[in-house]
Structure 1
Amino acid sequence: MIKILILLTIGLLSAGNALADKDPVYTGFLSNTGAGGYDTVSYFQAGEPIRGSTKYITEYMGATWRFSTAENLALFEETPERYAPAYGGYCAWAVSQGYLAKGDPQHWAIRYGRLFLNYDESVQNRWLKDTEAFIRQADANWPKVLE
């Protein structure tokens, strides 16, 4: 019984990864919400991630985006490419290395007017050591890593 559960879990995870590889926005498993439901405008306006509300939502690049205020929703709708995370919210460091990994909205940085998410704190610390080079590498790899 345990072997069957393990095989089913591996199969589901593999299927989830295969699907995620095709999506231009990271939304997590069984979700369609970009940036983990955080208001991406808040990173720029408040300097921190603020949870979005289901009251203020929009669709962009096949994902649902949530915002904490009507004003932030309006800003995003005016110029979504300005506020959406780079690389669709996938981990910026992973994209620089040529593959996809989840981006965590709690591990972020704004550089050159762009919002970057990373997998976790240790990956973020690695990415911050040479951000400029990693951004160049990730830009060169994006969107080929989606294939």
Structure 2
Amino acid sequence: MIFSRRKIIALGAATVAMPAFASTEPRWYDIGSGLAATGRDVVAYFSLSGGDGVMGSDAFSVMHKGTMFHFANAENLTTFSADPDKYAPHYGGYCAFAMSRGYFASGDPDAWSVHDGALYLNVSKAIRARWALRRAANIEAGDENWQGFFPGER
């Protein structure tokens, strides 16, 4: 991968800032609600063809990586519990477009995409459309940046 001067500077600055960030912020973005994807059922995204996410219920919930996940039904809770990293949003639920550029931004659970069996959130539906124009390259860059921030995590 070719690194531009701007990308090297952004990655360097983010790397310096990350130790403080990583020690104080959850890896699974919860927008202050304490809930992953603000309570949306992350398993339901995999069967939707579009639209906004499906709200979960506290009656069907589980803690994963320090954040509570809600589900619409017991079946989705069981599915998630069998392989949580498969269904949890990539990049901790942070914006996939921002991560492809080497920084963190909140993920909107209604600006989502499922691609190659993975759930991605973006900060808005407009940014999701922009991210999708170069999806493969953006995912490759996002994966590389995420590994730089959190080695060994997906």
Aligned-residue offset at 1:20: 9.1
Q: 1:100 to 1:146 in 2, by over 3 A?
A: farther
- Asked whether 1:75 is paired with 2:84, we answer no
Gap runs ≥5 in structure 1: 1-17
Aligned-residue offset at 1:21: 6.8
Q: 1:43 to 1:66 in 2, by over 3 A?
A: same
Aligned-residue offset at 1:145: 3.8
Q: 1:80 to 1:87 in 2, by over 3 A?
A: same
Aligned-residue offset at 1:22: 3.3
Match of 1:44 among 46, 53, 73: 46
Specify the alignment match of 1:24 in structure 2: 27
Q: 4+ residue runs of structure 1 moved beyond 4 angstroms?
A: 18-21
Give the match's secondary structure for 1:40.
Answer: coil
TM-score (normalised: structure 2): 0.78
Contact 1:22 1:146 in 2 (8 A): no
Specify the alignment match of 2:117 in structure 1: 113
Specify the alignment match of 1:58 in structure 2: 62
Give the match's secondary structure for 1:50.
Answer: coil
Gap runs ≥5 in structure 2: 1-20
How far does the alpha carbon of each residue in 1:43-83 deviate from its partner, in whole angstroms, 9 at most, with x for none?
11344521000110000011000000000000000000111
| Cα RMSD, aligned residues only | 2.1
Q: 1:24 to 1:142 in 2, by over 3 A?
A: same
Specify the alignment match of 1:104 in structure 2: 108
Give the distance between the partners of 1:67 and 1:19, measured in 2 at CA.
27
Give the match's secondary structure for 1:100.
Answer: coil
Give identity over the alignment, percent. 36
Specify the alignment match of 2:88 in structure 1: 84
Which AA in structure 1 matches 2:35? T
Contact 1:21 1:146 in 2 (8 A): no
Aligned-residue offset at 1:116: 0.5
